Amino acid sequence: MASEHQTGAIPGVKHAVAIASGKGGVGKSTISVNLAVALAATGAKVGLLDADIYGPSIPIMMGVHGAPQGEGQKIQPLEGFGIKLMSLGFLMPDNSPVIWRGPMVAGAIQQFLREVEWGDLDYLLIDLPPGTGDAQLTLAQTIPLTGVVICMTPQDVAMRIASKALGMFRQLKVKVLGIIENMSYFICPHCHESTEIFSRGGGRKASERLGVPLLGEIPLDQELRIGGDLGQPILIRAPESPMAEIYRKLAGALAERIRVEALAIPIIQSR
């Protein structure tokens, strides 16, 4: 759990929150983008760090392009929809493949955390690559995290993989703020019938089995997918839609969990 007064914390950042998954393809970056926009819509100051070095997608999903500028010894983040942004995708706009060994990935993440002028933020969301590798370890060892959110799909196999990611963060002494289940169901736009394409309930089962809150369930949605391709998060593209409301509720649930965990931070008295 983090406080801006802890050793190693990013100056001005109140809460650093990792968004993680045990495997790829669960929609973690989509969740990160839309959660960031939903939190910003409450009036909070929000930053979004794309730490998925091998597959940076935040520039596309946020519709922001260009190269960050340096100012003194700091890199100035770009901005979209009022959110401060940093991604390797801004630095490699030609879509060149990133063929890096672990130490280079660790170095890039440390640079994004330490050498970017994030300024005063209520929340810095960090979109991690899938799995349990160098990026996750580097992040946990570089800054004190308020916590991590685990993203998963409903299948039993996804629950097992998510459990491994959750177990890793617990070993690293990072608080698990909750689970988000994505692709929970699909509502046909024609007949309005709900279909559980990837089964359903895996997030709730994981929540109960692992003793962490279920922050919410997100259905498959065509507008959400189109918005991701066009750089228009759902609260921007369709602010009155049911999907936008789902993300507002998710953001509220996450903010409440962060508030509760912040209150639970022990006070260390100087001697």
Band the pLDDT of 95: cuts 50, 70, 90: low
The third-level CATH classification (topology) of the domain covering 13-263 is Rossmann fold (3.40.50)
Instruction: State residue 267's pLDDT score.
Output: 41
Local confidence band at 199 (pLDDT 50, 70, 90 cut-offs): confident
pLDDT over 70, % of the chain:
92
Asked whether residue 102 carries a pLDDT value surpassing 90, the answer given is no
- The residue among 258 and 270 whose pLDDT is bigger is 258
Whether the Cβ atoms of residue 59 and residue 203 lie closer than 8 Å to each other: no
- Structural contact between residues 78 and 90, judged by C-beta atoms closer than 8 angstroms: yes
Q: What's the pLDDT score for residue 268? A: 40
Mean pLDDT computed over 3-18: 76
pLDDT in tens, 117-146: 999 999 999 999 888 788 899 999 899 999
Q: Which of 69-73, 109-113, 205-209 has the highest mean pLDDT?
A: 109-113
What does the pLDDT look like over 203-251, one tens digit per residue? 888 889 889 999 999 999 999 999 999 999 999 999 999 999 999 999 9
Is the pLDDT higher at 1 or at 72? 72
Q: In this model, does residue 20 exceed pLDDT 50?
A: yes
Q: Is 90 helix (H, G, I), strand (E, B) or coil?
A: helix
- Confidence at 196, pLDDT banded by 50, 70, 90: confident
Residue 7: how many other CB atoms lie within 10 Å: 6
Name the average pLDDT for the chain.
88
pTM: 0.90
CB atoms within 10 A of CB 193: 8
CA 161 to CA 1: how far, in whole Å? 24
Q: Mapping DSSP to helix (H, G, I), strand (E, B) and coil, where does residue 48 land?
A: strand
Could you tell me how many helices (H) and strands (E) the chain has, helices first? 10, 11
Whole-number pLDDT of residue 32 = 98
Question: Is residue 164 scored above 80 in pLDDT?
Answer: yes
pLDDT at 22: 85
Residue indicated by tokens 């969990």: 257
Predicted pLDDT at 270: 34
> Given this model, what pLDDT does residue 265 score?
56
pLDDT in tens, 23-66: 888 999 999 999 999 999 999 999 999 998 888 999 999 999 99
93: pLDDT confidence band, cut at 50, 70 and 90?
low
Q: Quick check: helix, strand or coil at residue 58?
A: helix
The phi and psi torsions of 40 (rounded to 5 degrees) equal -65, -30
